[in-house]
Chains A and B, each alone.
Chain A
Amino acid sequence: MSETIRTTAKKPNMAVEIAGVKLRNPVMPASGTFGYGEEYAPFLDLEKIGAIVTKGLSLKPKAGNPTPRIAETISGMLNAIGLQNVGIEAFIQHKMPFLRTVNTPVIANFFGNTLEEYGEVAKRLNDIPEIAAGELNISCPNVKQGGIVFGTDPVAASEVVALVRKNLQKPLIVKLTPNVTDITVVARAVEEAGADAIACINTITGMSVDIHTRKPRIANRTGGLSGPAIRPIAVRMVHQVVQSVAVPVIGIGGISRPMDALEFLIVGARAVQVGTANFVDPSVMQTIIEGIEEFCIDEGIEDIHDLIGSLKL
């Protein structure tokens, strides 16, 4: 047995900056797959990941959808949770005390049922100094009001982003839905309306039927598809968005291994979010971070920025 001897064993610079938020590395959880951070503290070092992204927050607590809410499909899962969350006040009271003890930037994902509510939650976030940035969700496929209604129409998207931009005194990330004909249209609209960064993609609307009961496998009928099954679609869309906007892009969609994250970075994502894979392996983000580092060492890359957007066409 021989051991690989690395000539450039120097650790690469992994730090990146998204809209003024400094991240120690480009890996963070996708909203809704990591609770409020505390749930995963027993399984990985929260101070090793780039950022913590909270479950989507609304002005009032939200009950979410009826059950069953999830169903596994080939290499993926459908979910229609319905944005169940404790509400911004309970978040401040019960979830922030823990998050304050963690030396990692916290990004608050948020949404509203109406335009006004989006604006109000944004204002409320200003009162929490430890929140590094807001991630505006205009892309949830599973609720009737809010969410995707704003995300599929460039005019509505632009309107909500402009209002939130005015109200939020923090960097603003806007999370986009893939359930549109051309994602670059919405991407350009939200950039113009003041988004400091774009995160994409949210889940892809899907459906699955139990052939024996002949009922939809989730109570909401349709749900959002996530997991490895959607990764090639996500890589394509992130590539398209990177080509069409100037603001930094956070790549999301089916990342479960280091090589998956690398694909997104190479097409130009400045950071990535890991979603469904957290459910499968609660310490997967650490594995992904270490894998990216190892790849850089092997390839002689000293700075992650030399990798980001290095796609050869």
Chain B
Amino acid sequence: MKLLTNWRILLLVIALLLAFGIIFVNTGHDENGYLGNTNVKLGLDFEGGTLLQIELQKEVEVDELTRIASIISQRIDPSGLRDFTVTPVGKQFIIIQVSETDAVELEKIESRIRQQGKFEANLNGETVFTGDEIKKVLRGDNSFGVYQAGPGAYEWSLPFVLNEQATISFTEKTFHQCSATSFTPEGKPIYDCEKTIFFLDKPNALIVIDEDQYYEDSEAIFVGDTLLNIPQQSDIEEIIQDSQLNFIVYDGNLDPTILAGALLKTQQAIVSPGIGNDVILALQEKGFEVTKYPKNDAPWTWDVLNAQQIISLTEGITNEDVADISQAKQFSNLRISGRRESADIAFSELDELAILLESGSLPTPVKSISKETISPSLGESFKSIVIMMAIIAFIVVGIVITIRYRNFKLAIPIFIIGGSEVLLNLGFIVLTQRPLDLAAFAGLIAAIGTGVDSEIVITDEIMAKSKKIKESLLSRAKAALFIIMTSAFTMIAVMLPITMFARSYPGIDKLYGFAIVAIVGALIGVFITRPAFTKILEKIAEGIEKKEDKEK
């Protein structure tokens, strides 16, 4: 018990208690994907899943790559339900890990990654043009950019070109969509124009919203939100109409005609969080696959439909000056513009919209996708084998040490400290929310391996020599400390470059877990476990020496 008053031992005990809490205290996650009843999250190797490595056509700036990565995340999982990570690497790579292993689903994901986001501009419940019909955003054009329109007013302008078919249909659908509501003092008409609503990857599903949510959304959309590009006095009904989806505001009844109509188009149904289980059950009975979409910051309706922008038409393109559509002028070059209070905001809005129209294609196309799949059952068997391997390795090490020292009493501290290091390293892995995969496991082995090495050095330094010379315990411990410090730093030196380059080259990121666990393991050893080990050994040595003195 006296040992506990030593700060080194105390530090170890506190660290162990913390690690124990981090690993074992249940945080309420579901059981899938974790190691037994612990909080240790399992990686791809043990859980099964697929690693996709995307290579872009050319190198791009870091900002651009991050942007592409976020577009891709959106596409893989518009509703935020899948378990996946998307990491930009270097200048032209994006690495994705998904838990999916089914070949068909993977093909869908792959094609969605490469694909144009499905962009559509809708008006009066009809599609005016789609992303496919945009030939090009004229980024090089003079009219592309932001200019100051007055004090505190910055106008952005985005020119783009429609293809032939879309030009014709655009002219038809926008014809006379503005109406003069009043006149200027000079007698010129002032027009009020219809609005187009832009959608990107609109879901193909029946939407069911509870009344409370509907009214909340309706108000929020009327008030407007500049961050979300919702202008003031927008109308929720107009958005719903333009979405062209079957939409039910649930007031206690599910309109059977709407359900029947929806079933002709889709079997998917998305419901708001306020929709009860009875309604979901009723929908499932009708044959729908129901997804509950969470409420995020944006109005639920806006969010679930993936609405992006509301853009008003201008009288310049709606051919108000001619009476008949046959005389209408056709515009293939269109321009969207808006005004913001600062140049920065205007630029970012322009940028956002340009990407929207282009994605369409990703700003830089995908050149190739490499992939690696590990099936869940394979991962499962890996898991048990690796655990078995760790236990056997531990026992083997124990045997070697016992044989070498012919003293079980000396093997026990090595065992305890080895076990502590496993626990502390796992604690670190959980704390940083990293998954335990084969690479991290190898890092763990490296850390424990050097740990055992160091403990042998300490044991020999303190024990073996105690017989020969009467150096003070302190100086012996100091000699041991120099050796273990130096060897810990060599381990850190050799692993550090991996952590430095993990985000620069594809493939290296897989090794990040390996390197970081090895480094942290070395640090834990030098600062927590090995000082405590030295203290324990000093006590044992003192005991032995006293005994020897007595015998003399």
A binds B: no
Q: Which residues of A contact B (CB under 8 A)?
A: none
What is B's interface to A at a CB cutoff of 8 Å? none
